[in-house]
Amino acid sequence: MATNPMHQFEVYRIGPEIKIGAFNLSFTNSSMFMIISAVAIMFLLFLGTRKKLAIPSKIQLVTEMSYTFVAKMINDTAGSNARPFFPFIFTLFMFVLFCNMVGMLPYSFTVTSHIIITFILAIFIFIAVTILGFVKHGIKYLQLFVPKGVPIILLPLIVIIEIISYLSRPISLSVRLFANMMAGHTMLKVFGGFVISLGILGGWLPLGFSVALTGLEILVAFLQAYVFAILTCIYLNDALNLHH
């Protein structure tokens, strides 16, 4: 049996091997759960927009609440300039949220617990935001690294720190999500293993922990999706409204 708590993160091939050049692009359990999450999102949105009632039904309320939630988040952090990026941020938030939530189901796979997935999302955001900043402000975008009101002597140091913090954005963004998801799921698994190994006599305490941790993990799943989306908004804000 899979008593190893890291076993749940294993990726394995489903169906035939697909190889293009040197790349192995086979359909895996990770791909399957991505598709499950995407289909769940579309199903929710489909149900929520099927009947456009003036007094919304419960499912319609959920979709409209998610819309207004993301819209408010973008408006508060990046202002009205970020309006055109709403579809992307909304998709990003929903995708991460649903991947996290689907991962909470027993025997499922958490897509966002893999560093490669979160890193690709983060590096895409990083590159897109950087290009956007240079397109919008030209060479002036480099002012981002020169904060106002800093003494001249400290400036070189500050600029270096700013550049490092800017370049580490994709890493911090991706590691935050990946580490949170992985740590949470590993802990759940470890406590689950304790329940089995301690048996009917001593297993109650870790079982209680497991229940509490499940609640906490659902909170974390939502929170990390929110943090991922709001940090994207903040980076977008830096690129759109240059004011340092």
Distances in Å between the alpha carbon of 123 and those of 49, 120, 225? Answer: 32, 5, 16
DSSP secondary structure string, 129-150? HHHHHHHHHGGGGGGGGS-TT-
Residue type, 80: S
Q: Which stretch binds another protein (CB under 8 A): 100-108, 134-142, 155-163, 184-192?
A: 184-192
Judge contact between 176 and 191, C-beta under 8 A. no
Q: Which of 126, 178, 209, 235: binder of another protein (CB under 8 A)?
A: 178
Report how far residue 110's alpha carbon sits from residue 136's, in angstroms, rounded to the nearest whole number: 37
Report how far residue 209's alpha carbon sits from residue 44's, in angstroms, rounded to the nearest whole number: 31
Tokens of 34: 């991505």
Neighbours of 110 (CB within 10 A): 24
CB of 170 to another protein, least distance (A): 13
- Closest Cα to residue 178, out of 96, 132, 114, 104? 114
Judge contact between 38 and 55, C-beta under 8 A. no
* Binding of residue 30 to another protein (CB under 8 A): yes
* Binding of residue 183 to another protein (CB under 8 A): yes
CB of 42 to another protein, least distance (A): 6
Q: Which stretch binds another protein (CB under 8 A): 29-37, 72-80, 133-141, 158-166?
A: 29-37
CB of 137 to another protein, least distance (A): 26
* Binding of residue 76 to another protein (CB under 8 A): no
CB of 35 to another protein, least distance (A): 6
SS3 74: helix
Q: Which of 35, 150, 161, 164: binder of another protein (CB under 8 A)?
A: 35
Q: Which is nearer to another protein, 131 or 146 (CB)?
A: 131
Question: Which residues, 125 to 154, sit near another protein by CB under 8 A?
Answer: none
* Binding of residue 9 to another protein (CB under 8 A): yes
- Closest Cα to residue 89, out of 222, 240, 233? 233
Residue type, 197: S
Binding mask 97-126 for another protein (x = CB under 8 A): ----------------xxxxx--xx-----
Residues that bind another protein (CB under 8 A): 4-7, 9-11, 13, 18, 23-28, 30-31, 34-35, 38, 41-42, 45-46, 48-49, 52-54, 56, 60, 63-64, 67-68, 86-88, 90-91, 94-95, 113-117, 120-121, 172, 175-176, 178-180, 182-183, 186-187, 190, 227
